[in-house]
Chains A and B, each alone.
Chain A
Amino acid sequence: MKGKVIFLITIVVIIYAIYWAFSFGEIPERSVGLSLANHRYHCMMITRVTDEAYWEHVFSGVQAVAASENVALECYNPRFRNIKELERYLEMAILSRIDGILLSVPNEPGFLSLIKEAAEKGIPVVALVDEFENKDYHSFIGINAYELGTKTGKALLEATSHLRTPRIEVAVLVASSFSDYSYRQYLSGLRSAIKSNPKLNLTLIMKSKGGSIGAEEQTQTILKNYPYIQAIVCSDVSDTLGVAKVVVDYNRVSQVTIIGSGLNSEIVRYIKRDIISAVLTSDPYELGTQGLLALVSLIEGRSQKENYYLPIFLVDSTNVDEMYSKLIMKGRAGEEGE
């Protein structure tokens, strides 16, 4: 009887060990929940990731739509600013005659010609975040640069209202990813917003070099060469972080007002410590979902052109926690739920 019991226990343990051993060691597939054989469309998403946290939520939104719309999605998002690599992906996508492209790359001439080629070959392209100069060949889902400029200007007015100096000198660091068109629109919006306060003077307007390190370098130059600057305005998340770090390093926190862009945990910390006065941001998850939905709509011929401007939210010390949980944590929860 005892022997039988030991025998049975051994068999059960061995069966469990077999199950465990065979189910162990397989690579967990990052599936988007689609059947490869039955996907409807084959799309590619090529993005240059500037802020990982922000883009993580964009990918969550894209993948959620890909799963529901049965879209096979190739995602290429090199970390570093290698234009050639991005161009290679885009060219491959065009030569492979895929069904659609989601694109968020810098405004470079190489991309413009490829986008034109894609349009000629009937491959719809949806630009995310930043518009390209020539708007004839692509659709756009992202922030309206003019609106961003306006809201930034209003935030600047608010943040510098306490200053009693006769002039308030402002430096503007425009995002490197902005096309010339967006650049102009942004500054136009900014100027129109601050014209109510003649004390505000856009002393220095620079196009950023891209990336946090570049922004740090530029901020150091600004603070050294233009010590009278009282406010710095940024339109990119990396620029905002770079500026904030240097302002802290130079111990100029109370002297320099920062109006930034983008929202992540680090920026939340800076806002709570009153290093950054306010930031403007959009909902990254919505950017992802709207982007792919627009692409699917173009592929299916339901529209010829899609342009969708995301709502822009002002985040300051009064609503930082609420907005962070609404925009960032929501996307994370959605991702976990999938």
Chain B
Amino acid sequence: MFSFLTMIIIFASVSFFSYYSQSHLLSRINSLLANSIKLREFSSNIDNIVISLEKFLVERSSDMLRSYYHYYQEVESEYNDLELVGESIVNYLLLKNIKTMTKLFLQEADAAVRFKRARDSAGYSGAFKEVLRYNTNIKWAVDRLITKQLEENNMQYLLITERINYIQRLGLLMILLAIIFSILSTIWIGSRLTKPLKKLVEAAETISRGEFQLPPLPVSSNDEITVVSQAFNEMATSISKLLSEIKNKSDLEKKLQEQEYQNLAMKNTLKEAELHALQSQINPHFLFNTLNAGVQLAIMEDADKTADFIDKVSKLLRYSLRKINMAVTIREETENLENYFFILKTRYGRDRFDLHIDVDPAIADFQIPLLTIQPIVENALIHGVEQLEGGGQIKVRAYQNDESVIIDVSDNGLGMDSETVKRLQEGRKVSGHTTGIGLWNVRERLRLFFGRENLLEIMSVPKQGTTIRLILPKDDKVQEVPVDENPCCR
């Protein structure tokens, strides 16, 4: 708005200057011409007075006297009103001289008339001579004044002309400036309009490339472009938010899938365990009943040892047939171990190997997965001490520190080479004894049960023995292991 106001003021000023200067010059020239004409008329009237007076003095004509008075009155009325065009000191004083001389001229002329009437020829002759002198000097002074005024006004004219030229040049310059100003304004307004549109286009292209994290478009003006930019910013924010939600959902789904995968893995492990159990426990119900019948038969025959043996076998089987996902205490696990060992001792002979169980009573009720220790002990027996002629020792020791419950299963058997230890340590499944559940199985179940890695350590020295150490976290929440119910274990 100010731009247009500025333009209007510039053009108005140029027009005004031009108009003012030209009208000023014209009025000055007009005044000068009018003044010159007035001075000439005045000079002519002075001449007319002299002519009339001379004729009156010569002819004594009343007509000439009337004519004389006519011009006399004209000069008398106008000489005091004579003015200058552009006062200067010289002209002012010259005009003053003219007025004084005119006044004295009229007095002398009057004196001449009076002398004539008084028939004083010497008087009117002398007075007329003076009138002529005044006439000559007034006319000369008037001519000089006109010339001087013309000279000065010529100078004024030249100066004003120069000023008009200057103003015209100024006007030209202003028009030029206005044109430059208009071009710059147009470019500026154009860029103001197109710049945000370009940014909008760039932002849209960025979004179309799939980059949703872009800074908001600047909103500075108050026009339609701003409305569009604001809408675009809101759209970009909404898209970004939506994408974020989708991503979160996707992450969640991924986690769920992982969870499911873990569950599936657990199921597989369990199924494998169950398969192994079933393989070794054919028709357990029939076997239980059979074994119970065997116990009763042995009691009736007073074969107490046999009865005891069969009872232990029965307990072992019963323990083994419990729900595989069930948590048991260390005490229960060690009791089962004792049963298992009783059977083994009976089978192999009492002197070939021995089992020592040492459980810290404080952790006897610590819960661990079913059949955790027994497969390790079985391994120690089969791979460690079975080859020995005698004196085989298997030690189970359960104790605790601040953070963990530690269960060591050690033997003094053959031990393993470092390669085997490494392979087992890395958790690779090793095909082992077909009747055992296997070390891998134990490790996996512990990982699922406690939700942590590296709960099993293997330390072995060839020909000296092996120690399997279970490091079980105390304060971790025991994870429920989802398993399919086994109908045969009810």
Residues of B within 8 A of A72 (CB): 89, 92-93
Establish whether residues A96 and B100, one from each chain, have CB atoms under 8 Å apart when the complex forms: yes
Establish whether residues A25 and B163, one from each chain, have CB atoms under 8 Å apart when the complex forms: yes
Q: A83 in the interface, Cβ–Cβ < 8 Å?
A: no
Cβ-defined partner of A97 (8 Å) among B92, B100, B159, B160: B100
Mark A1-41 against chain B: 1 for CB-CB distance below 8 A, else 0.
00110110011001001100100111101111010100000
Establish whether residues B140 and A92, one from each chain, have CB atoms under 8 Å apart when the complex forms: yes
Q: A248 in the interface, Cβ–Cβ < 8 Å?
A: no
Cβ-defined partner of A3 (8 Å) among B3, B86, B133: B3
Establish whether residues B89 and A10, one from each chain, have CB atoms under 8 Å apart when the complex forms: no
Q: How far is the CB of A242 from chain B (nearest CB, A)?
A: 32
Residue of A with least CB distance to B21: A21
Cβ-defined partner of B97 (8 Å) among A6, A11, A25, A96: A96
Residues of A within 8 A of B5 (CB): 7
Most B Cβ at <10 Å: residue of A18, A27, A29, A92:
A92
Q: A158 in the interface, Cβ–Cβ < 8 Å?
A: no
Residues of A within 8 A of B162 (CB): 25
Chain B residues 100-154 with CB under 8 Å of chain A are 100-101, 104, 133-134, 137, 140-141, 152
In the complex with contacts A3-B1, A6-B3, A31-B89, A25-B94 CB distance below 8 A = no
Residue of A with least CB distance to B97: A96
Residues of B within 8 A of A27 (CB): 86, 88, 152, 155-156, 159
Complexed CA–CA distance, A131 and B241 (Å): 116
Establish whether residues B159 and A25, one from each chain, have CB atoms under 8 Å apart when the complex forms: yes
In the complex with contacts A6-B6, A21-B166, A32-B89 CB distance below 8 A = yes
Stretch at the interface among B9-17, B213-221, B462-470: B9-17
Cβ-defined partner of B89 (8 Å) among A4, A29, A91: A29
Establish whether residues B140 and A88, one from each chain, have CB atoms under 8 Å apart when the complex forms: yes
Q: A42 in the interface, Cβ–Cβ < 8 Å?
A: yes
Establish whether residues A21 and B17, one from each chain, have CB atoms under 8 Å apart when the complex forms: yes
Q: How far is the CB of A10 from chain B (nearest CB, A)?
A: 5
Residues of A within 8 A of B21 (CB): 21
Cβ-defined partner of B2 (8 Å) among A4, A42, A95: A4
Chain B residues 1-44 with CB under 8 Å of chain A are 1-3, 5-6, 9-10, 13, 17, 21
Complexed CA–CA distance, A10 and B6 (Å): 7
Establish whether residues A36 and B92, one from each chain, have CB atoms under 8 Å apart when the complex forms: yes
Residues of B within 8 A of A24 (CB): 159, 163, 166
Residues of A within 8 A of B423 (CB): none
Establish whether residues A74 and B3, one from each chain, have CB atoms under 8 Å apart when the complex forms: no
Residue of B with least CB distance to A31: B89
Complexed CA–CA distance, A254 and B59 (Å): 75
Establish whether residues A96 and B96, one from each chain, have CB atoms under 8 Å apart when the complex forms: yes
Q: A246 in the interface, Cβ–Cβ < 8 Å?
A: no
Cβ-defined partner of A42 (8 Å) among B17, B93, B159, B163: B93
Cβ-defined partner of B159 (8 Å) among A4, A7, A26, A34: A26
Interface residues of A (CB under 8 A from B): 3-4, 6-7, 10-11, 14, 17-18, 21, 24-27, 29-32, 34, 36, 42, 72, 74-75, 88, 91-93, 95-98
New A-B contacts (13) at CB < 8 Å, excluding given A7-B6, A96-B98: A10-B6, A17-B13, A18-B13, A21-B21, A24-B163, A25-B160, A26-B159, A29-B88, A88-B137, A95-B137, A96-B100, A97-B100, A97-B104
Question: Can you report 20 A-B residue pairs in the complex whose CB atoms are below 8 A from each other?
Answer: A7-B5, A7-B6, A10-B9, A17-B13, A21-B21, A25-B160, A27-B86, A27-B88, A27-B152, A36-B87, A36-B89, A42-B96, A72-B92, A74-B94, A91-B137, A92-B101, A92-B137, A95-B134, A95-B137, A96-B96
5 closest Cβ pairs, A-B complex:
A3-B2, A96-B97, A25-B159, A25-B163, A7-B2
